């Protein structure tokens, strides 16, 4: 997933950023309403995590603004204040869930998974194509019932491609899904990553093909029998 993390506690944002990146997500981190709003309206995020108290304003106002702009990104709000009024105003502003600090990272990850399951594009806990079975909740892949190990970035690419179905994923969109804004990447980096993923699927005997369509992008499809 591509995640927007809006948090002004540097130590917390860095710790969460590392954990989410290790889990295979691309994470953009901002500490202000202004910067986060600009990024949110520019990039296609799969999930947003927003602190209620930010350097230049209120996270609830940020969520309210992007909702008014028509963005329905699943959003989890963080707060250090465990008061019903704060939770109610956050939810009324457009947040989908609330988590009170301090919290266990495992609970945050579980709530993220729950929010993603509610997303209209998520139709199953497991995604199948040919003899490939991908579980996005566990971040696991099996081919013909055999476990296949991928890197975090390879999982991110697989997630984007398998969810696209029969639609072509442009190279630029695939790169934006895999890499955070602060990470430098190039077309060559995406091509290399796709090559590694294609080779691992082939070596595992997957009955799917990761095709590169010149000038268009990539598509993951079942190999004709």
pLDDT of residue 223: 86
Burial 123-147 (b: 16+ CB within 10 A, else e): eeeebebbbbbbebeebebbbeeee
Q: Where are the domains of the chain?
A: 2-118, 127-222
pLDDT of residue 156: 87
Q: DSSP letters of 144-188? A: TTEEE---HHHHHHHHHHHHTTTS-B-HHHHHHHHS-TTS---HH
* Closest to 151 (Cα-Cα) out of 116, 197, 88: 197
Confidence (pTM): 0.71
pLDDT digits 0-9 by tens, 87-98: 788 888 899 999
Range 2-118 has CATH code 3.60.21.10:
no
Which CATH number, 1.10.10.10, 3.30.590.10, 3.40.1190.20, 3.30.1490.100, labels domain 127-222?
1.10.10.10
CA–CA dist 19, 15 (Å, integer): 6
Say whether 127-222 and 2-118 share the same fold.
no
* Closest to 190 (Cα-Cα) out of 179, 202, 204: 179
pLDDT per residue, tens digit, the chain (225 aa), is: 789 999 999 999 999 999 998 877 889 999 999 999 999 988 888 899 999 999 899 999 999 999 999 999 999 999 887 777 777 888 888 999 999 989 999 999 889 988 877 765 554 568 899 999 998 877 889 999 899 999 888 988 998 899 888 899 999 889 888 887 777 888 899 999 999 999 999 999 999 999 999 888 999 999 876
């Amino acid at each position: 997933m591509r995640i927007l993390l809006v948090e002004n506690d540097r130590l917390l944002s860095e710790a969460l950023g590392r954990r989410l990146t290790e889990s295979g997500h691309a994470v953009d981190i901002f500490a202000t309403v202004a910067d986060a709003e600009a990024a949110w309206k520019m990039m296609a995020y799969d999930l947003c995590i927003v602190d209620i108290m930010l350097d230049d304003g209120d996270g609830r106002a940020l969520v309210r603004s992007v909702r008014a702009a028509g963005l329905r990104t699943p959003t989890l709000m963080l707060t250090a204040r465990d008061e019903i009024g704060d939770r109610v105003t956050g939810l009324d502003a457009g947040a989908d869930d609330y988590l009170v600090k301090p919290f266990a990272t495992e609970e945050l990850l579980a709530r993220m998974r729950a929010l993603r399951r509610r997303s209209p594009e998520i139709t199953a806990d497991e995604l199948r194509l040919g003899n490939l079975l991908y579980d996005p909740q566990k971040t696991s892949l099996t081919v013909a019932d055999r476990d296949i190990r991928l890197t975090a970035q390879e999982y991110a690419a697989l997630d984007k491609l398998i969810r696209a179905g029969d639609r072509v994923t442009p190279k630029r969109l695939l790169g934006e899904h895999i890499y955070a804004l602060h990470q430098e990447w190039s077309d060559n980096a995406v091509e290399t990553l796709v090559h590694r993923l294609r080779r691992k699927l082939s070596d595992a005997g997957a009955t799917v093909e990761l095709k590169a369509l010149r000038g268009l992008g990539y598509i993951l499809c079942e190999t004709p029998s």
